[in-house]
Each structure stands twice: as C-alpha cells, then as structure tokens.
Amino acid sequence: MPGADGEARHDLVVIGASAGGVEALRELVACLPSDFPAPIVVVLHLPAGGTSVLPSILDRVGPLPALPVEDGEALAPGRIYVGVPDCHVQVEDGRLHVAGGPRENGHRPAIDPLFRSAAHTHREHTIGVILSGALDDGTLGLRAIKAHGGLTIVQDPQTALHPGMPSSAIRYVAPDRVLAPEQIAAALARFTNQPRGGHNGREMNELDEREQVREQTAEQPGEETGLTCPDCGGAIYEQRDGGVVTFRCRVGHQYGSDTFAIEQSKTVENSLWAALRLLEERAVLMRRLAERHEAQERSARGFTNKAEELEDHAAQLTQLLREITGSPQPVSEV
C-alpha cells in the first residue's frame, strides 16, 4: 500500500500465539495507537468447539476494535481480526477466508497457514509476529514471510510465559527484531508508517520455485520416512526448508520436528492404553469362561491359566505406562 510519499509500506500484520499468548497479546494491543494504519490478523491456538472470548478481551484492553474472523470479510485498516476455533485463517485478494482442512502442528487454527498465505499475497508488505507458545508452530510460516521480503518480529523469550515458539523462530528464522510485547507494539506502529526496506528477491523466487515443485509432486511431498501420521495413520514424508525439518502426510497434516515428536509420543501412549484395555478385557473373558466350564476341570484350568497369563502381561504393561507417563506408584499395603 503506497504512502503519501508514494513509497510502499507494510500494510498487513499477522500475529501467531499459543500458551501464554493471551497475556502477550493484551500487553501488545494495549500499546497500539488508535490511528494504527494496517489490519492485524491474530491466530491463537484454540480447542475445537465453543467460541473464543479473545476478541472481547482485546477489544477492551486497546483502542482498536477486535472481532472474530468472518469468511470473505475484506481487510480494513485499524482493525484486529481474531481466528475462530476449528478453522484455519488465510488471506487472499485482500479478504479473509476461514476453512477446515488438515490440522498443522496439531492445531486448527494453526499459525503457519495464516503466515504462508500472508507471505504469498502481501509479500514484502507483510509483518509477521510470533508471541509466547510451546513447541514450533509459526516457524515455517515466519520463514516464508522473511523469504518474501516481509518484516519478522519475535517476542523476547525471556518475557514469554512459554518460550518454545519464540526460541524456535529465533533459531531458524533469524528475525529482524526480538522484542518485549510493548516494544513490538511500538515497532508495528513505526514500520506501518514508514516505507519498507528492500527484500531479497532471489531468495523469494527460490522459495516460490520450491513451493511450485512441491505442489507438482503433492502425491509424495518429501522424502519417505517409514513413519506414520499421528492424525490419520498415513505415510509421513520429511521436508527440509533451510535448517527447518517438517513432516507432512499425503492429505496435508503437517508438523514441525518438535511437535511431531510430541504427537508421536501421544500416539504411542494411546496405543499402549488400548493394548492394556484389550488385555484386561480378554482376562475377564477367560475368567468367565473358566466359571462357565467349572464342571469340566481341564477346560476350566486352561481358561484360568490363560487369564493369569493375560493379567501378568497387563501388570507389566501398566508398569511401563507408569514409567512413560510419570504416574505415581501404588502404595503398598502394610
């Protein structure tokens, strides 16, 4: 968007946050000026179902109106648009779009889809901001913004309640600014009111070429790993973008390396709990069959022995689950 002097300016701000993000957003939004000249789009990780109270919180703490994203809504300067539960948010042709689609990094809404779409549509006019949160959602999207010439800002991890997302972004993106929330507000006001700097066109073109190749080979989006998707059980492929490793399945579930490790551990634990349930149910069945065949001593003894074997396996699996989950040991009777 050109300014009064004809120079192009940053005209879109996208912000991603997770755990601890509400506090950071409150601090940031409270310090924004009432004449802020660009739209701000916020994605905070939210559970599916229900409604988000974040728009009303941000509407109260700062001078800018905050409202939930509506599909097809045109972006307007000086407004804060907040993602809604269970829908990704994307920017296209100056409008906001909400849709379902595969979860990314275990979330919907996720930060990366918003940042990618902003980078593709607004390119060097975009400012991307990562606030407090665990793990690594937003890192890949922030890299896209930087590669397209946009400005990248990350909350100082020392000021974040959960420094995982800021630390990941700092490690893999080398952001333009690392600031506390109130300093981020001042930086946004400054950079949306002055001409933007130049961008690395070569890096931007290389990114576009990589994405075009990736779309053309969508049936196998990366190197085979022999691993399976925690969400759908499909094959997982490894992708590399500079130093950032991501894992993606054929239908589109995508994970940063930290998130993938966590989601895979959840899958392992859930599978072990299911195995424990099946062992215990089968032991109960064997006990019932032993009772039903009480008159047939040999059959009853066989069912009883099988029940005891299953109960022993279940006890061993229970011990393993306690070690994995950190559950307390049962108190021995005196």
Catalytically active residues are 18, 45, 137
CB atoms within 10 A of CB 12: 25
The one-letter amino acid code at 41 reads: V
Q: Is 18 helix (H, G, I), strand (E, B) or coil?
A: coil
Pairing state between β 126-130 and 12-17? parallel
**Which H or E run includes 274?**
helix 257-292
Give me the DSSP letters along 138-153. Answer: THHHHHHHHHTT-EEE
What is the number of alpha carbons within 13 Å of residue 39 lying toward its C-beta?
18
Q: Residue 63, SS3?
A: coil
User: Are 42 and 133 contacting, i.e. CB atoms less than 8 angstroms apart?
Assistant: no
Distance from C-alpha of 182 to C-alpha of 226, rounded to nearest angstrom: 45
The strand pairing partners of 81, in sequence order, are 41, 67
| Alpha carbon separation from 46 to 58, 106, 209, 264 (Å, rounded) | 16, 11, 33, 21
What is the per-residue burial (b if ≥16 Cβ within 10 Å, else e) of 33-46?
beebebbbbbbbbb
Q: Say whether 125 sits in a helix, a strand or coil.
A: helix
CA gap 292, 96 in Å, rounded? 65
